[in-house]
Amino acid sequence: MNSKSLNKMRRVAARWRVRWPMILCLASLIGAHDVERVESRADSDDETIATYSATLQTDPQNTVVWRARGFAYLAAGRYSDAINDFTQAIQIRKDDLEAYRGRALSHARAGEHRQAIADFNLCLTIAPDEEGVFVERARSYAAIGDPESALLDLNAAIAFTSEDVRAFQMRAEVNERLKHDGAAVVDYTAAIRRDSQNAKLYVARGRIYARNRRYAEALRDFDMAVRLDAACLDAYVQRSAARQAAGDEAGAYSDAARVREISSRPAQ
């Protein structure tokens, strides 16, 4: 497979972050040289899983295929099946980083966050500088009510790479949960610098400004969120409350009316 095809496949796979290993493996199995063919096959979970299952019938020691079918099950929401496949890959190859990571993600998606943390720990014994593992483990720590451990992981992730928007956003959320509003604003600002078109980031930062009675800054953020996404319900809710607190009754009423209008639209 040439580099042009590989890069094109990576762009397609970015739409399903967990599917990249599945797509890459499928391409090697079916000898696909055009991304459209791979995308078509990867989009059909049943067909993809059947392809891997047939391969495993004749090659049951192929850890790459066990892992790839695990990612296919994960993408399909079949977490128990995914865990079984990743476990099979690990039994064949004890240092399979992506299998441990896939199993950890499957546990996390299934709400089994303590099991996920155990597998993320194993990932980091194999590859101590995998910043993505720190971010995912932080998510699980936050889910079990351990924001301090989550914060340590996010600090580590950001130390490895300063460009991961998820890490800054998650650290902002954890700092907010710990009532470290100043630190949360700094992290939301860092996330906005890296993803300036994300309306939700402006709403989140504006909410902290409003809570601290910094209404002018809050309103600027809510205004920006509305400009980026005219249907951002939370932006109107938050801006209405901020306008009310700042003494702008007409503006608060206008935003409340907009909330009712958006809320009354039929679900798409």
What pLDDT digit, counting tens, does each position of 51-69 carry? 999 999 999 999 999 999 9
Name residue, tokens 């351990």. Answer: 146
User: Is it the case that residue 26 has pLDDT exceeding 80?
Assistant: no
- Among 238, 169, 230, 232, CA closest to 210: 238
**214 three-state secondary structure:** coil
pLDDT at 268: 63
What pLDDT does 14 receive? 40
4 lies in the same domain as 119:
yes
- Altogether, the residues listed in the chain come to a count of 268
**Residue 35 covered by a domain:** yes
The yes-or-no verdict on residue 41 having pLDDT over 90 is no
- Angle subtended at Cα 68 by Cα 41 and Cα 111, rounded to the nearest 5 degrees: 110
pLDDT tens digits, one per residue of 176-229? 999 999 999 999 999 999 999 999 999 999 999 999 999 999 999 999 999 999
Task: Output the pLDDT for position 239.
Answer: 97
Dist CA 225 CA 202 (whole Å): 6
Structural domain contains residue 55: yes
Within a domain: 173: no
Q: What is the mean pLDDT of the chain?
A: 86
Written as six digits, the tokens of 28 are 């090697």
Same domain, 109 and 8: yes
Question: Phi, psi at residue 76, to the nearest 5°?
Answer: -85, 0
Question: What mean pLDDT comes out for the span 118-147?
Answer: 95
What is the per-residue pLDDT for 43? 41
Do the beta carbons of residue 201 and residue 188 sit within 8 Å? yes
Considering the domain boundaries, does residue 96 fall inside one? Answer: yes
| Distance separating alpha carbons of residues 171 and 222, to the nearest angstrom | 21
Q: Which of 128, 161, 183 is the last residue in one of the domains?
A: 128
Residue 156 has pLDDT above 80, yes or no: yes
The pLDDT of residue 73: 94
pLDDT range class, residue 35, cuts 50, 70, 90 = very low
The total domain count for the chain is: 2
Residue 112 domain boundaries: 1-128
Q: Counting Cβ atoms within 10 Å, is residue 48 exposed (0-12), middle (13-18) or buried (19+)? A: buried
